[in-house]
Amino acid sequence: MHSMKKLLVPLLILSIYPSLVQAAQEKFPSRPIKMVITHAAGGSVDLPARAMAQYMQKYLKVSVQCDNMLGGGGRKAMEYVFGQVKPDGYTIVASAFPSRLIGELVYDSKYKMKEYVHLGSWVGGDYRTIFVARDSVFKDFRQVIEESKKRKINVGGGGGLGSTSQLQIVYLKELVKLNLNFVPFDSDAEVTAAVLGKHVDIGTGPLSGAIRNHKSEEIRILAVHAPKRIKEIPEIPTMKELGFDGVVIPYGVGAWAPPHTPKERAKILSDAITTSCKDPEFIKWAEKSSTMLDPMGPEEFYKVTLEDYRSIEKVLPLLKKEK
């Protein structure tokens, strides 16, 4: 009996311990935050996300741990975070847009981008491009269109499931009416290799990668899917200037928290992102790594998502056909 009494006190303490901890946790954040990254370590989603995590922890005063969860072109991680039973702000997800929307709409995924709490984005101002080898017979995009009236043009693109590369091909096929064969590759790097080896006529890929090879004079960018000309390559026309309206394809990296995350916690997180974007060291990092920064706050980010919904829904039947 005596020993039972001895046990009773620790048991009592143990039983109220969780509520004690909870009380202490009122202050957010008080333990490490998990940032789930939808793509592989070292890639174009991962590196900017990890860089952001480093600066976020400076302002949040807790560590932000990065966790790559791969699968289904990012859908697995998006569904995992979306389905959090207790959205407490300690699990967030970083990924690229608008490819997450394509993944949702084309593959009927179990997450809804509209319901995700938008925290903010930092990478932006990156657009899809069309490029050829430096010594290709095509000197501008008009020549490609002319040639495609005579024969099918082979177009290389990287990506895979639900990528922006698919969206670009649909645009080229249906809106530009390019007579083409789409040759899919595993990565943008393989596309560049196929273009340089003259195995495909033209390649498609993000500006951030293409611009380096353009500057080192291996490839020539023919056109960008951007709303206006790019500062670094002012001589390259946009698709709109070439006469094709409504084929802008942006690319950005941002972060989201699961639906029903408490508002005040979401604000703390998005403030950390906004402040990090202004950190001179972060800006210096972006310049050094030729990462294109175009930060958006939560409201603007959400608006962009809604716009992207509308433009993708327009071509959704075509995208589904491609699938």
Partner 1 sequence: MVPFDIIFQGIAATFTVQNLFLLLLGLIVGVVVGILPGIGPAAGMVLVLPFSVGLQATSALVLMSGVYLASSYGGSVSAILVNTPGESASAATLLDGYPMTQRGRGAEALGISATAGCLGAVFGVLALAFTAPLLASLALRFGPAENCLLALFALSVISAIVKRNPIKGLISACIGLVLATVGADEVSNSIRFTFGLEALEDGVPFVQTMIGLFAISQVLTLSEQNQTISSVELAGSGFLTGFKTTFKHPLTLLRSFIIGLWIGALPAAGRSTASFMAYAEEIRAAKDKSQFGKGNPVGVIAAEMGNNACAMGDLIPTLSLGIPGSVGAAVFLGIMIIFGVIPGHKVFIEQGKTIYALFTAFFIESLLILALGLTYAKYFAKITLVRNDLIVPIILVFSLLGSYAIQNSFFDLLITAVFGALGYFMNKHGYSPVPLVLALVLGPMLEKNFQRALIMSDGSYSIFASSGISLVLVALTFFSLIYPYLSPLLKRWRIRSR
Binding site for partner 1 (CB under 8 A): 40-43, 46-47, 50, 54, 67-72, 75-76, 152, 154, 160-161, 166, 181-187, 189-190, 192-194, 196-197, 199-200, 212-213, 215-218, 285, 288-290, 322-323
Shortest distance (Å) from residue 69 CB to partner 1:
6
Shortest distance (Å) from residue 254 CB to partner 1:
19
Shortest distance (Å) from residue 124 CB to partner 1:
18
| Runs of H (alpha helix) within the chain | 2-24, 46-60, 75-82, 99-106, 141-150, 164-174, 188-196, 207-215, 263-278, 280-288, 298-322
Contacts of 249 (CB under 8 A, 6+ apart): 98, 127, 128, 164, 167, 168, 171, 225
Q: Which is nearer to partner 1, 215 or 228 (CB)?
A: 215
Shortest distance (Å) from residue 227 CB to partner 1:
26
Q: Which residue has the tokens 């333990």?
A: 31
Backbone phi, psi, residue 182, to 5°: -90, 120
Q: Which is nearer to partner 1, 47 or 62 (CB)?
A: 47
Q: Which is nearer to partner 1, 140 or 154 (CB)?
A: 154
Answer yes or no: are the C-beta atoms of 253 and 113 closer than 8 Å: no
Q: Which is nearer to partner 1, 199 or 260 (CB)?
A: 199
How big is the chain by its Cα radius of gyration, in Å? 23
Beta pairing partners, 151: none
CA distance 267 to 11: 38
Q: Which is nearer to partner 1, 157 or 298 (CB)?
A: 157
Shortest distance (Å) from residue 257 CB to partner 1:
19
Pair type for strands 64-68 and 117-133: unpaired
Shortest distance (Å) from residue 138 CB to partner 1:
17
DSSP assignment of 171-234? HHHHTS---EEEEE-SSHHHHHHHHHTTSSSEEEEEHHHHHHHHHTTSEEEEEE-SSS--TT-T
Shortest distance (Å) from residue 172 CB to partner 1:
15
CA distance 93 to 25: 22
User: What is the Cα 263 distance to its own chain's centre?
Assistant: 24
Amino acid identity, position 257: A
Shortest distance (Å) from residue 253 CB to partner 1:
14
Shortest distance (Å) from residue 181 CB to partner 1:
5
Contacts of 259 (CB under 8 A, 6+ apart): 82, 87, 112, 115, 116, 117
Answer yes or no: are the C-beta atoms of 282 and 272 closer than 8 Å: no
Q: Which is nearer to partner 1, 6 or 231 (CB)?
A: 231
